[in-house]
């Protein structure tokens, strides 16, 4: 699954002048997009962290995550820059799920103000081939799936108190909950953080929140679409 850098499917704002391709000193153009208006930086796609630290003096504290699968023969790397100092939650070699907290928004490096610089890089044979507009690329990835309103739903009964989270990982913000013995209605599942050997999370039909399937009397994904 894919989310924006705020962990949601609602796109955050881009700063004035922070658009992809905007002019930069020396005739260069902006290789990413600078998103604003939130604090928690979350992984946009699942993948492996290949870098976490100060990338260059200009980039400041940065995280690079390689997607698990190639796209059109290219390795796709999502780079985040200007992260607040001393807030990194991942290190090189970490595996992350989409929506996982990676750090806090900041202005490290040469940022003009706090922003989430997102850069989508396509590599072939270790060579950077191109960067693309994150607004378009992420938007297409999120928009490509079925819309919740069109989906069938299934019900599961909770066997224990269970939190509803903004993303399918225990690191994501708690936005709701179900008490034990309550029937929840779900319309999708995904593979998120593995808890007690089970990485299936259900998506709430009405809330869009993620609930770990192990908290329900049935962990079956039958009738639920996978996203």
Name the site residues for Zn ion (rule: CB under 5 A). Answer: 34, 117
Classified as helix, coil or strand, 27 is helix
Q: Name the nearest CA neighbour of 187 among 163, 154, 146.
A: 154
Residue placing its CB nearer to Zn ion in the complex, 134 or 192: 134
Q: How would DSSP label each residue in 60-106?
A: -EEEEEE-SS-BTTBEEEEEEEEEPTT-----TT-EE-TT-EEEEBB
Residue placing its CB nearer to Zn ion in the complex, 81 or 209: 81
Classified as helix, coil or strand, 142 is helix
Residue placing its CB nearer to Zn ion in the complex, 112 or 183: 112
Are 57 and 121 contacting, i.e. CB atoms less than 8 angstroms apart?
no
Q: How would DSSP label each residue in 30-67?
A: -SSEEEES-SEEE-SS-EEEEEEEE-STTT-EEEEEE-
- Minimal distance, residue 120 CB to Zn ion, in Å: 12
- Minimal distance, residue 82 CB to Zn ion, in Å: 7
Task: For residues 59 and 181, give the distance between their C-alpha atoms in angstroms, rounded to a whole number.
Answer: 49
Residue placing its CB nearer to Zn ion in the complex, 135 or 195: 135
- Minimal distance, residue 7 CB to Zn ion, in Å: 20
Residue placing its CB nearer to Zn ion in the complex, 30 or 89: 30
- Minimal distance, residue 136 CB to Zn ion, in Å: 16
- Minimal distance, residue 117 CB to Zn ion, in Å: 4
- Minimal distance, residue 55 CB to Zn ion, in Å: 12
- Minimal distance, residue 34 CB to Zn ion, in Å: 4
Residue placing its CB nearer to Zn ion in the complex, 34 or 193: 34
Residue placing its CB nearer to Zn ion in the complex, 34 or 45: 34
In this chain, which residue has its C-beta nearest to Zn ion? 117
CB crowding 166-189: b at 16 or more within 10 Å, else e: bbbbebbeeeeebeeeeebebbbb
CB neighbours of 129 closer than 8 A, spacing ≥ 6?
A: 74, 122, 123
Are 219 and 200 contacting, i.e. CB atoms less than 8 angstroms apart?
yes
């Amino acid at each position: 699954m894919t989310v924006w850098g705020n962990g949601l499917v609602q796109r955050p704002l881009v700063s004035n002048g922070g658009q992809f391709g905007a002019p930069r000193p020396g005739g260069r153009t902006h290789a990413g997009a600078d998103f604003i208006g939130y604090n928690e930086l979350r992984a946009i796609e699942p993948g492996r962290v290949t870098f976490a630290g100060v990338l260059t003096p200009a980039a400041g504290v940065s995280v690079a995550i390689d997607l698990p699968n190639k796209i059109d023969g290219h390795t796709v790397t999502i780079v985040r820059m200007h992260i607040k100092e001393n807030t990194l939650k991942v290190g090189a070699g970490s595996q992350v799920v989409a929506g996982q907290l990676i750090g806090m928004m900041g202005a490290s490096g040469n940022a003009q103000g706090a922003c989430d610089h997102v850069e989508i890089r396509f590599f072939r044979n270790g060579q950077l081939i191109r960067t693309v507009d994150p607004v378009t690329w992420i938007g297409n990835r999120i928009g490509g799936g079925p819309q919740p309103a069109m989906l069938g739903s299934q019900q599961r009964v909770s066997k224990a108190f269970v939190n509803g989270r903004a993303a399918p990982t225990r690191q994501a913000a708690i936005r709701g909950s179900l008490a034990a013995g309550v029937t929840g209605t779900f319309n999708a599942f995904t593979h998120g953080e593995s808890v007690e050997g089970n990485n299936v999370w259900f998506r709430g039909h009405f809330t869009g929140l993620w609930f770990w399937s192990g908290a329900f009397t049935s962990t079956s994904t039958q009738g639920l679409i996978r996203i």
